[in-house]
Amino acid sequence: DQQVKQNSPSLSVQEGRISILNCDYTNSMFDYFLWYKKYPAEGPTFLISISSIKDKNEDGRFTVFLNKSAKHLSLHIVPSQPGDSAVYFCAASDRGGGGADGLTFGKGTHLIIQP
C-alpha cells in the first residue's frame, strides 16, 4: 500500500510559468514532509521541507503548501526555469516514531520545462 502518492508521473510546463507538483499521503502519523530533486545520473538533493505545524514554507522560487485535512501537499515553482527540469520526489516521515525512521518516498514526478 503506497503511503505517499505522486499521481502525475510527468508534467510539462512552459518556461516562466508556474509549476505545481502534487503529493498525497495516507498515513496520518506523518508530520514532516520534504521534497527532493533528482537529475539523471545524480543522487536526489534536498529542496525544501515543511513541518505539520505549518501550512506553508517558502524558499526563493520554491513554496511548499500543506493541507493536513486533505492529506495533500504541493510544491510550487515560480517562475519555472530550464534547470528545474528533473524528477521531483515527495517524502514523508513520522518523527514521532522515535529515532530516525526512513523516509517514505513517492514514485516521483518528472518535470519538463519547455523553452
Task: List residues binding another protein (CB under 8 A).
Answer: 6, 32, 34, 36, 41-46, 49, 51, 89, 91, 93, 95, 99-108
Question: Minimum distance from CB of 78 to another protein (Å)?
Answer: 22
Choice between 6 and 80, CB closer to another protein = 6
Burial class (CB in 10 A: 0-12, 13-18, 19+), 19: buried
Choice between 7 and 14, CB closer to another protein = 7
Question: Minimum distance from CB of 97 to another protein (Å)?
Answer: 9
Question: Minimum distance from CB of 50 to another protein (Å)?
Answer: 11
Q: Are strands 109-114 and 86-93 parallel, antiparallel or unpaired?
A: antiparallel
Residue whose C-alpha is closest to residue 88's, from 17, 13, 29, 30: 13
Residue whose C-alpha is closest to residue 24's, from 75, 72, 65, 67: 72
Choice between 83 and 99, CB closer to another protein = 99
